[in-house]
Amino acid sequence: MNSFYFYQVIIQRDQDKKLSTLSIHIQEYFASRSKYIPQKQSVGNKLLESARVGLFFCIHSKTDLNLVRNAVRGIRPNFPKAQVIIYNVNREIPDVIAERDLFLFGPEDFTMFWKKKPMLEEWFSKHQFDLLINFDNGKDSVRNALFSEIRADFKVGPHIEKYADMYNMMIEKTKKKMDYQEYFEQTLHYLTVLNIK
């Protein structure tokens, strides 16, 4: 191989890597500026019989995805037609997604300036839920902004005072790390106790 060509390839790869890193930093900057949308108040009639239920999760790895899949299996008896919405923080797809009722998206579905690409924009515009449950820990402002943009009549999320107006009902977490099953059982309990039916 011609040494001049070899150095050109190395320089090009280095430039591509720098551009990619720069694009990621620009995207992260614009993402960090996104704000959540306050939720409209709702009486939440017949939530336990809702046909349109959304379950929002956030993952960082294939391990997280498997935890979500296990949690969803436990939720299915209560909400068999629930749509699972997963925001993948990493830029790599963690696994083959074969489930028809699982929607996975991440930073690659946004432009460098944190605008939704057409396919993601279409998904957001087409989906409206009766009940939407946030299974994320609730502390990340970018993920909260994304969750708030999903249209739903009644939203449930973890108790964080700063985001109180983003939900119709908040659940106190008993553990630092989100225990999906326990959190769902608490949600179900309060929806029942509050006689939201």
All domains of the chain in start order, with CATH: 47-193 (3.40.50.2000)
Put the strands of the sheet holding 102-105 in their side by side order: 102-105, 83-88, 53-59, 128-134, 151-158, 169-171
Residues 6+ apart with CB under 8 A from 173: 137, 158, 159, 183
pLDDT for position 33: 63
CA distances from 52 to 114, 131, 154 (A): 28, 7, 11
pLDDT for position 37: 64
pLDDT for position 51: 73
Closest CA to 107 of 99, 117, 98: 117
pLDDT for position 122: 95
Element (H or E) spanning 56, and its range?
Answer: strand 53-59
pLDDT for position 53: 93
pLDDT for position 172: 84
Contact 133, 54 (CB under 8 A): yes
178: phi then psi, degrees, rounded to nearest 5: -65, 120
pLDDT for position 156: 93
Three-class DSSP category at 68: helix
pLDDT for position 7: 46
CA distances from 97 to 7, 123, 152, 187 (A): 40, 17, 25, 27
What is the mean pLDDT of each successive set of 10 residues along the chain, which is 197 residues long?
50 54 67 65 60 91 90 91 92 71 91 91 94 87 90 91 88 77 89 67
Q: How many CA atoms lie within 13 A of 150 on its CB side?
A: 29
> Hey, what are 167's tokens?
């939900």
pLDDT for position 86: 94
